[in-house]
Structures are given as C-alpha cells and as structure tokens.
Amino acid sequence: MSDVFRDLLKKVGSGTHTSKDLSREESALATRMMLEQTATPAQIGAFMIAQRVKRPTIPELAGMLDCYDQMGGKLTAPQADYATMVLNNPYDGRKRNAPVTPITALILATAGVPVILHGGERMPTKMGLPLVDIWENLGVKWRPLTLAQAQQVFELTYMGFVYLPQHFPAAHRLVPYREQIGKRPTLATVELMWAPCDGIKHVVSSFVHPPTEDRTKETYQLRHTTEFTTVKGLEGSCDLPRGRTAIIGMGSLKVDGPVFERLLLHPRDYGFEGADPALEEDFGQVLEQTVHGESVELTRSVIWNGGVYLWRSGVVPTLSDGFQQAQTLLETGQVHAKREQIKGAIATVLGHQLSTV
C-alpha cells in the first residue's frame, strides 16, 4: 500500500463537507501512481469513485493531462501547411449512430491536414464500437503497429493512430476498473482532452453535457492550448449531427489572452438536414460505398462533417467551400486513394519489420 497515495485519496474522498481539491502537481502525482499501479487496486478504485463524486477541478484535470503527456505514447507532428488536428472521441465507442470520424480524418489528410485519432478496444461501460474497429471496416489495421511504425505511417500519409494497448499500456491496464466500478472515471474525461501529439496541433474535444465543455475550455486555457474546438457531437463524439443544431466552441490563444467563440450550425441552412444514419449491421458496406464516392445517405453526413472540419483547419475560407471540397475529394476518388495509401504504408512498415527479423 502507498501511504503517499492514501493521503491523496483522503483529501478527495473525505465527504461533501471535508474533502479537499488536489493541486495540479498532486493530481499529476496521483495519476502517475495509478498508471504505474504504485497504488493498490483498492486505492485506485476508491480514488476513481471519490473523484467522480467530488467532480474534478480545472487544476486537477490539468495535472492529469500533464501526467498523460509525460507517460503516454505520442506522435510527432510532421512538417505541413496546417496544424495537426487531434480528433478526440469517447473510448467506449458508438452504439446508435453510424460513425464518420475516420472518413472525416481521411478527407482532412487528403487535403494536407495531418490527423491523429486515439483509442483502444471495446471499453466499459458502454462497450460500443471503437475507432480501431471502424478502421478495420475500412481495411486499415492499426493494431500491429509499434509507436515508431505508427510514426512512419503518419509521416508518409498524414494519418496517425495512437492505439492504447500498444502505445500506452499503463492506461490500458486501468480499463478493467471501469467495469468494476460501473461508471466512467474522470480518466474518461481526460481522454476527451488529451492530445498525443508533439508539435503544433489543433485539438478537437467532444462532449455531451455543457459542464464538460466548460471544464474542457478552462483546462485548455490553463494549459495554454494554442487552438481547440469543442463539439457537442453524436454520442459525445466529434461527429456533427444533422438531426439537430451543431453546437461548436472555437478557442484560441492570442497575444492578449485566450479567446472563445460559440458557433451554432443549422444543417438546414446548408442543405444537410435529415436524420442521422443509424449504426446498422451493413455499416461496413455503407462505409466502403462512401469512401468510393457513391451517393448514400451516410455520404451527406460525411460531406457535412468534412466541410466543417476543412474550414476549421484553415484549408478553405468558408463553410460552403469546405462542403464543395469534401464532396469533390470523395467523388474524384482522392479519399479512396488516401485510404489505399495508408493501407500500403502500413503493409510497407510491417513488411520491413518482418524482413529484418
């Protein structure tokens, strides 16, 4: 048992009237001790519950992110015309709506914007479809890559994936606690803010509840994040809805201080209104049709998302230009070609590994 961790646990878990907030440094230490499992399983589970009940403060979240930055696997941003965009989605996946984040990422990479996604396997408590499986539906297999190999693919294609079991095993070892405590721990919030990227980046953080967005904004501002976007997306993801108004926050760090603006996008104003496609059994086939530029209902969601993110990345000056470019990239086969390039790059780096064994 760790006496140091026990003292930190006592601070956050002493009840409504006597609990105390951790400092940023204490929060980073507590997170490290959980990741390294210096703390016992009982202490880790108790801390997760206590912090969830208390609700994390901004300095506590900043400290947890500090630790993730120090311990987690990261990719280095390549030299590019645009900042690397990190698209953060809930690790516990999707169950209701057809996800389009990977195709959005393909559109961005095709347009010259480096993109990083990150996540693991099916995860409690939701146990939804994770990003790594969505990529598998596209024929892109990230699981075998070491971090160095993922970096090679990233530099070649502008598409990167940080796979938790392989690239951040300490965090992966804490996943069973989610099932055992039956609730998302604060780490699930941290995963929506984390940017596993060294270099110039634009972080996109999804949220469901407004308080989460407030905490995200204030944490990014405390950590001097240069540019970020918050999105109230489908199932808490980065996928912009078509069945309701898209709520977006745009944050940046200017010379005279942080700036944050609210943007409400009404799909009907741009001709994209409609029900958000459901996650059906034939999702893989529909995904493939979309990548090939065929006109299916999911394509409208892809163009809606691709256009907005092209605009947020600075590739195009207006939203209308973004929608037009996203459509063109799909219909001319450029997105399909990018997917094939990524598959080829993965095969190349894995083949090189085999040839040197």
Give pLDDT, residue 355: 53
CATH, residue 81: 3.40.1030.10
Q: Do 305 and 229 sit in the same domain of this protein?
A: yes
Residue 353 lies in a domain: no
Over residues 16-60, the pLDDT tens digits come to 778 999 999 999 999 999 999 999 999 999 999 999 999 999 999
Over residues 113-152, the pLDDT tens digits come to 999 999 999 999 999 999 999 999 999 999 999 999 999 9
Q: Do 52 and 81 sit in the same domain of this protein?
A: no
Residue 177 lies in a domain: yes
Q: Do 147 and 117 sit in the same domain of this protein?
A: yes
Residue 345 lies in a domain: no
Q: Do 231 and 299 sit in the same domain of this protein?
A: yes
Mean pLDDT of 84-108: 97
Give pLDDT, residue 37: 96
- Of 83, 91, 118, 102, residue with least CA distance to 225: 83
pLDDT at 80 over 70: yes
Q: Do 38 and 135 sit in the same domain of this protein?
A: no
Residue 41 lies in a domain: yes
Residue 41: how many CB atoms within 10 A of its CB? 11
Choose the final residue of a domain: 48, 71, 94. 71
Mean pLDDT of 283-296: 94
pLDDT at 78 over 60: yes
Over residues 231-289, the pLDDT tens digits come to 999 999 999 999 999 999 999 999 899 999 999 999 999 999 999 999 999 999 999 99
Q: Do 66 and 166 sit in the same domain of this protein?
A: no
Give pLDDT, residue 357: 44
Q: Do 66 and 84 sit in the same domain of this protein?
A: no
Over residues 154-207, the pLDDT tens digits come to 999 999 999 999 999 999 999 999 999 999 999 999 999 999 999 999 999 999
User: Could you give the CA distance from residue 138 to residue 152 in angstroms, rounded to a whole number?
Assistant: 20
The pLDDT mean for the chain works out to 96
Choose the final residue of a domain: 52, 71, 90. 71
Q: Do 122 and 199 sit in the same domain of this protein?
A: yes
Mean pLDDT of 346-356: 80
Q: Do 58 and 103 sit in the same domain of this protein?
A: no
CA quadruple 90, 93, 98, 99: dihedral, nearest 10: 50
| Strand spans (E) along 89-225 | 115-119, 159-163, 197-198, 201-206
Phi-psi group of 197: left, alpha or beta (phi > 0 → left; psi -120 to 50 → alpha; rest → beta): beta
CB contact at 8 A, 166 and 147 = yes
Q: Do 279 and 329 sit in the same domain of this protein?
A: yes
CB contact at 8 A, 296 and 283 = no
Q: Domain of residue 111: give its range.
A: 77-336
Mean pLDDT of 213-228: 97
Residue 35 lies in a domain: yes
Q: How many domains does the chain have?
A: 2
User: Could you give the CA distance from residue 229 to residue 312 in angstroms, rounded to a whole number?
Assistant: 8
Q: Do 216 and 189 sit in the same domain of this protein?
A: yes
Choose the final residue of a domain: 25, 46, 71. 71
Residue 341 lies in a domain: no
